[in-house]
Amino acid sequence: MTEPVTDDRDEVVLVARGIATAVAPEEGLTDVQAALLGAIAEALTGVSVDYHDLEPLSAADLGRVLAEKPEWYRQRIVHHMVLGELVLKPLPREVAWRVREYAGALDIEDKFVRIAHRYAQGATGLAWIDLQRSGFTAHLEQADDTEAHYQTVDTPFEKPPPDPAVADLWRSFEEYDADSLGRKVWEMYDGRGFALPGTPEGASPYLAQHDFVHVLADYGTNLKGELEVFALIGRANPDPQGFAWLATLVGLFETGYVEDTGFFARDVREHNIQAPGMDVRVADAIRRGKFVSERCEQDLFTVDFTPLAARSVQEVRDILMIPSKSAGALESGSPGLFDREGMSAIQQAYFDKRAGGTR
């Protein structure tokens, strides 16, 4: 098990200075960058840092600060830089080059640095191919295709052929105990009008894994809730390549860098990370994922939830060591899965129709 790194305030500020210097556009950090990076720093370390008020720190100096840290830790720092890049639209080339320089100073060769560089060059199609290879296809190639809960098509977002056995399994969850994981995930699908996995319009069994996490983490199913759940899932993966999930969702729902995945479609009508409180909510999801990663050491997309579905939600949370939301996330408006505020407008309309008995 990888042991968590204990950060003192001086070190946290030095790292923040390096990250801020790496990702700042010519006119300085944007408010979105400063809020998000500051919230992540506080959620993960307990240290409050004002990213708007930091002295620059060179790549070489940051490299010296982190020289003794393990590779996985330095790679996570690079991913914070990449996340700071990805919320910029357009992404300036000089920022992409600078992040590459800082990654090199940390002795990290990372595919996500290249992906951000593609975005800066306007090569979004090539970036999406790299993104698939960095996080998705690798998972699928490693999966045992004899296990029914894995996806077998090119990406987890693509819809597979209908599978009556999978559909029957998901329908059976309706008969489980009221507090069970299976019953709750069925209620989520039924109450929002979602097509069940295995049916022609349903998500792939692999992608549907994240719906169990919606229940366990108590996150909504609108775009803001999707950002939260994939931030948790991505950071919970002991392999840093799990960052692909959050990078994709930011590209889909914030900047539009990712055009279409086949299941989720690009939607930038609302800038979700810029919404009030979302910096704290995403940061807390990353904190929760970090906790799972350090204690459970299992990619949540490789958990077979089928034998766990009959157990209570709380029991499965305890097994996977998923911590509660922070007070800050709740105060920032993070709704629960079954709260109306956690649904999209279409989901709310379906929910209201059902509640009114006019289905």
Cα(178)–Cα(182) distance, integer angstroms: 9
* Number of other CB atoms surrounding residue 168 within 10 Å: 11
What integer pLDDT is reported at residue 255 of this predicted model? 64
Cα(216)–Cα(221) distance, integer angstroms: 13
Query: Which region among 50-64, 189-203, 264-278 has the lowest average model confidence (pLDDT)?
Result: 264-278
What integer pLDDT is reported at residue 148 of this predicted model? 40
The CA dihedral of 191, 211, 294, 137, to the nearest 10 degrees, is -160
Instruction: pLDDT band for 34, please (50, 70, 90 cuts).
Output: very high
What integer pLDDT is reported at residue 328 of this predicted model? 97
What integer pLDDT is reported at residue 29 of this predicted model? 97
> What is the C-alpha end-to-end distance of the chain, expressed in Å?
50
What integer pLDDT is reported at residue 80 of this predicted model? 94
- What is the average pLDDT across 231-248? 84
pTM value is 0.84
Cα(339)–Cα(351) distance, integer angstroms: 11
Q: Are 359 and 353 in contact (CB under 8 A)?
A: yes
Residue 127, pLDDT above cutoff 60:
no
Average pLDDT, the chain: 83
Cα(264)–Cα(229) distance, integer angstroms: 14
- What is the average pLDDT across 216-238? 92
What integer pLDDT is reported at residue 169 of this predicted model? 96
- What is the average pLDDT across 181-188? 98
Query: Which region among 19-23, 150-154, 259-263, 355-359 has the lowest average model confidence (pLDDT)?
Result: 150-154
Q: Are 75 and 109 in contact (CB under 8 A)?
A: no
Residue 36, pLDDT above cutoff 80:
yes
Token representation of residue 57? 């720190």
Token representation of residue 18? 């390096």
Domain map (residue ranges) of the chain: 1-122, 139-359
Instruction: pLDDT band for 61, please (50, 70, 90 cuts).
Output: very high
Position 96, amino acid: A
* Number of other CB atoms surrounding residue 65 within 10 Å: 18
Query: Which region among 4-13, 110-119, 206-215, 231-240 has the lowest average model confidence (pLDDT)?
Result: 110-119
User: Which of 227-231, 238-242, 328-332 has the highest mean predicted lDDT (pLDDT)?
Assistant: 328-332
Greater confidence (43 vs 248) lies with: 43
The answer to whether the bond into 156 is cis (omega within 30° of 0) is no
Instruction: pLDDT band for 155, please (50, 70, 90 cuts).
Output: low
Which pLDDT tens digit goes with each residue over 276-325? 999 999 999 999 999 999 998 888 988 999 999 999 999 999 999 999 99
Element (H, E) at 282: helix 278-295
What integer pLDDT is reported at residue 357 of this predicted model? 52
Residue 78, pLDDT above cutoff 50:
yes
What integer pLDDT is reported at residue 178 of this predicted model? 98
What integer pLDDT is reported at residue 53 of this predicted model? 87
What integer pLDDT is reported at residue 250 of this predicted model? 76
